[in-house]
Structure 1
Amino acid sequence: MNDVIAYFQSIKIRGMGWILLGCLYLFANQPILIIVYLYLAAVMVLRTWLAQFPHAAKVGLTVVYALLMVIQIVFISAVVFPWRGTSPLYFVGKLVGVMLVVLPLWVERFVTTNNQTVFYLPTVEEAATVSFDELRQSAGKLSNLLNGAAEAKDKVSVAHVKTIIEDLPRHSATHYINHGTLTPAYFEAVTATLVDTNLYLAVSNTGSAASEMISVFTRKQFNHVSLSFDRDLETIISYNGGDNVYPPGMNAETLEFFHQKAGASVLVYSLPVTTAQKTFVMNKIAEINREGSAYNMIGLVSKHSAKPNIMFCSQFVYTMLQLAGVAYFSMKPGEVRPTDFIEQDYYKKLKFEYELKF
């Protein structure tokens, strides 16, 4: 009898859940959905720290819930609601955004269900069959988990999350919002560099909020890459957030942009090209400057762009090299990470020039 009662109670709870999701889909606007995401993240973190999990698991789950919250807010703010009133995709996007509400609950259920496997300790009899090598590997994995969780805790800070959320209204995942920010003086400076038959790649560790958050996913120290026509980086350019001066998209950069934390650094490499190839890249950048651009924040997760000139930094640099016929490794532009320009250089096309430390 008790089993029957429990069964109908579970059906009732699930029914209420679907009703709540339906109400969110029909009536919730962007601020309400953001509040729901924030509330659920806070509740799940509290439940995690009250549960009987190992400390490392609690830290790891806290990081996961924070990242899920950021992804949820970015998705509805940069993708779903810009479609409102302009595209039928809004209704599909909002449905996905509402379904994302239950994602933290699925994560908790998965961890709880697999708790005995993930944090399993062998019996005395089973321990006798465990080799020292396996124990050493397990200890190494646990150490990596603890180190990764500690690093992620610092990078996914309240200040960084707040900075990114406050910057979201400036972005667009579907429209070009950056138009003509490169001046005639910039292109005059680029033209003067055509005698130098090299393009320059600058891979950097800026310390910006976006860079620190991206590093949690990539597990890499360097998370930004730029293109320059000269060795001294006076014509350096990339896709970025505009540094609160210009709209997010393709913008010229300055050395101050790279110095956003102590220990920031830039690795500068040269890539031999012909004058015609370098001119092609200059003309293509001028074309993007005329047509407009936007920063592909959603592409960091989805690996896709709604329009050709909506890109992120490594996607932009690789696309320029690919179109000019000087790409020295083969990948889809949306899957290229900043460090791939160094790590995928199997044929040693790049020449290291210098490191700039702040």
Structure 2
Amino acid sequence: MGERTIYFLFTDTGTYLARAINYCTKQSLNHVSISFDHDLREVYSFGRKRPKNPFIGGFVKEDIRSDFLKESSCAVYAYQLSADDCEKIQEKIKEIEAQKNNYKYNFLGLIGVLLRIEIERENALFCSQFVATVLRETEAFQVTKPPCFVTPADIRNHVGLKLIYQGKLGDYQQCMQVTERRLIKGEQSLTKQSFIYLLSEKVKRFVIR
């Protein structure tokens, strides 16, 4: 059935909660989301429902252009998998979205990760637990840990992920547009971020043409 590309967005908003998580995990970019288009028009995760209140969370469709996210540090990775696997992920996300009012953010689960205590709560997920849960539907992308122990770093370090952008999230789309224009014109001088973008599936199509 061919191959499809999915995208993982890792962000660090710089909030007090993000800093606390970074300190505890000794990692940065401790929020992960998933998307199915390289423009990141639709981005899915578990996070804040209200930007100013970190304690009201659940299933969210994130807007990378929002004031809350556009100043975030980020990294975007692409991953290729079969069209069948991609459809399975999308169906699982639709299933969760349809029941989103019954879901909540799994704050206790974060404590469980830190203490290595398995805390499974019905209809409660944190961001990387959500991503790991929808990825369980696939054959290609499997993590060895239970979803309740999966961290953004576990997903980011998975074999096969290709970095296509790193920098400020608000600059992502502009950088992608500049890169595409340069590729169409055949320009050779690319920025470091633009060069990374050469790894994405869309640019590969330009090169093949």
Using structure 1 for the length normalisation, give the TM-score: 0.41
| 1:279 aligned counterpart, secondary structure | helix
CA RMSD for the aligned pairs? Answer: 2.2
- Quote the residue 2:161 is aligned against: 350
User: 2 CA distance for matches of 1:277 and 1:297?
Assistant: 29
Contact 1:328 1:349 in 2 (8 A): no
Residues 320 and 349 of structure 1: CA distance in aligned 2, closer, same or farther (over 3 Å) = same
User: 1 CA distance for matches of 2:5 and 2:139?
Assistant: 14
Of 78, 81, 92, the match for 1:270: 78
Contact 1:207 1:259 in 2 (8 A): no
User: 2 CA distance for matches of 1:353 and 1:328?
Assistant: 21
Of 96, 111, 115, the match for 1:301: 111
Give the partner amino acid of 1:234: R
Shift of 1:328: 4.2
Larger strand proportion, structure 1 or 2? 2
Shift of 1:339: 1.6
Once the two structures are superposed, the pairs formed by residues 96-107 of structure 1 within 5 Å of their partners are none
- Quote the residue 2:129 is aligned against: 315
- Quote the residue 1:216 is aligned against: 23
User: 2 CA distance for matches of 1:259 and 1:300?
Assistant: 25
User: 2 CA distance for matches of 1:328 and 1:284?
Assistant: 15
Instruction: Show structure 1 runs of 5+ residues with no match.
Output: 1-194
User: 2 CA distance for matches of 1:290 and 1:341?
Assistant: 25
Residues 245 and 251 of structure 1: CA distance in aligned 2, closer, same or farther (over 3 Å) = farther
Contact 1:200 1:228 in 2 (8 A): yes
Aligned length: 157
Give the partner amino acid of 2:63: T
For the pair 1:205 / 2:12, whether they are aligned, the reply is yes
Shift of 1:334: 1.2
Shift of 1:228: 0.6
Shift of 1:227: 0.4
- Quote the residue 1:338 is aligned against: 152
Contact 2:3 2:80 in 1 (8 A): no
Residues 329 and 305 of structure 1: CA distance in aligned 2, closer, same or farther (over 3 Å) = closer
- Quote the residue 1:248 is aligned against: 57
Of 204, 227, 231, the match for 2:34: 227
Give the partner amino acid of 1:251: V
Residue identity (%): 29
Once the two structures are superposed, what CA deviation does each residue of 1:57-103 show, in whole Å capped at 9, x if it has no partner? xxxxxxxxxxxxxxxxxxxxxxxxxxxxxxxxxxxxxxxxxxxxxxx
| 2:41 aligned counterpart, secondary structure | coil
Once the two structures are superposed, what CA deviation does each residue of 1:158-197 show, in whole Å capped at 9, x if it has no partner? xxxxxxxxxxxxxxxxxxxxxxxxxxxxxxxxxxxxx971
- Quote the residue 1:282 is aligned against: 90
Instruction: Show structure 2 runs of 5+ residues with no match.
Output: 114-118, 171-209
Residues 356 and 236 of structure 1: CA distance in aligned 2, closer, same or farther (over 3 Å) = farther
Shift of 1:204: 1.2
Residues 278 and 352 of structure 1: CA distance in aligned 2, closer, same or farther (over 3 Å) = same
Give the partner amino acid of 1:313: C
Shift of 1:341: 1.6
Shift of 1:290: 2.0
Using structure 2 for the length normalisation, give the TM-score: 0.68
Once the two structures are superposed, the pairs formed by residues 51-90 of structure 1 within 5 Å of their partners are none
Contact 1:267 1:354 in 2 (8 A): yes
Shift of 1:286: 1.3
For the pair 1:324 / 2:134, whether they are aligned, the reply is no
Higher relative contact order structure (alpha carbons within 8 Å, sequence separation ≥ 6): 2
User: 2 CA distance for matches of 1:320 and 1:338?
Assistant: 14
Residues 196 and 206 of structure 1: CA distance in aligned 2, closer, same or farther (over 3 Å) = farther
| 1:283 aligned counterpart, secondary structure | helix
Structure 1 runs of 4+ with >4 Å offset: 244-247
Residues 328 and 306 of structure 1: CA distance in aligned 2, closer, same or farther (over 3 Å) = closer
Once the two structures are superposed, what CA deviation does each residue of 1:99-137 show, in whole Å capped at 9, x if it has no partner? xxxxxxxxxxxxxxxxxxxxxxxxxxxxxxxxxxxxxxx
